[in-house]
Amino acid sequence: MRGVMFIGVLTAGLGMAAASIAPAFSQTARTGRATTAATVGEGAKIQESNEWTVGIAGGLLEGTNIRFAAEMAKVLDDRPNLRVLPMVTYGALGNIEDLLYLKGVDVTITSADVLDEFIRKGTLANIKNRLRYICSFYINEVHVYVRPEIKTLEDLAGCATDDLLGYYEVNKDKERVRVPGCLEGFNLTSEDANAIIMRSRIKAGWIEESVEEPAEEEVEAGEETEA
């Protein structure tokens, strides 16, 4: 498919040039059989070119992931044994769908939270069993946005779990509305939120961090006892 796409673009360009130079020839050529690598006996070359070619969905042209894909193509290049083709795509979110549905995409670069979002929404059926994790590249920088009154981590000490995750309440019109949490969107569980609050209270000095005492060694069965 990758070879066909390349040939298609090249043919379109040549067709435009031919039309401007010799329109009669271009009209005649349309009625004949298109000349392809297969028709001129280069089927083995087609198979060789595609057999060990791996397409990797990188991301937006101005993004970071496409640069990773380009570097992988340079480092892993071992033609004719292996060739990596980096692809410019719509980004980390679209890369998942491209991997599942787009021909020629064998590997994709995406963010962990993107996959979690698909799992949470259930928009792609059985996605956990359709993809395989290979390796991690780097840790993304995270910017946390909260309400104006929260300036530091210690300010979360007085919060309840619902303040972080969000909750529902009934307004004056008797309608049930959603009140967003200050950390909503991070896919936190109640346990995660409670851990953040407890850590904030420790950092603020409200409580002391508990230190587990080492367990005493148990006397093993079979040891000699006093007579």
Q: What angle, rounded to 10 degrees, do the helices at 92-101 and 112-121 form?
A: 70
Q: Which CATH number fits domain 42-141: 1.10.15.40, 1.10.1060.10, 3.40.190.10, 3.40.50.300?
A: 3.40.190.10
Contact 208, 199 (CB under 8 A): no
Tally DSSP H helices, then E strands, for the chain.
8, 5
Contact 42, 7 (CB under 8 A): no
- Express each pLDDT in 140-161 by its tens digit: 776 767 777 778 878 888 889 9
Report the pLDDT value the prediction gives residue 10, as an integer from 0 to 100: 31
Report the pLDDT value the prediction gives residue 215, as an integer from 0 to 100: 52
- Express each pLDDT in 31-80 by its tens digit: 556 788 878 888 888 887 788 899 999 999 988 889 999 999 999 988 88
Report the pLDDT value the prediction gives residue 112, as an integer from 0 to 100: 80
Report the pLDDT value the prediction gives residue 44, as an integer from 0 to 100: 84
Report the pLDDT value the prediction gives residue 17, as an integer from 0 to 100: 33
Confidence of residue 7 (pLDDT cuts 50, 70, 90): very low
Q: Where are the domains of the chain?
A: 42-141, 153-203
Report the pLDDT value the prediction gives residue 66, as an integer from 0 to 100: 92
- Express each pLDDT in 88-136 by its tens digit: 999 988 999 999 999 999 999 988 878 888 887 888 888 888 888 888 8
- Express each pLDDT in 163-197 by its tens digit: 889 999 998 888 999 998 888 877 788 998 998 89
Could you write out the DSSP letters of every residue in 4-49?
HHHHHHHHHHHHHHHHHH-HHHHHHHHHSPPP-TTTTT-HHHHHHH
pTM of the model: 0.50
224, pLDDT greater than 60: no
Tell me what the mean pLDDT of segment 2-14 comes to.
32
Identify which has the larger pLDDT, 4 or 39: 39
Confidence of residue 2 (pLDDT cuts 50, 70, 90): very low
For 150, residues 6+ apart whose C-beta sits below 8 A from its C-beta are 156, 182
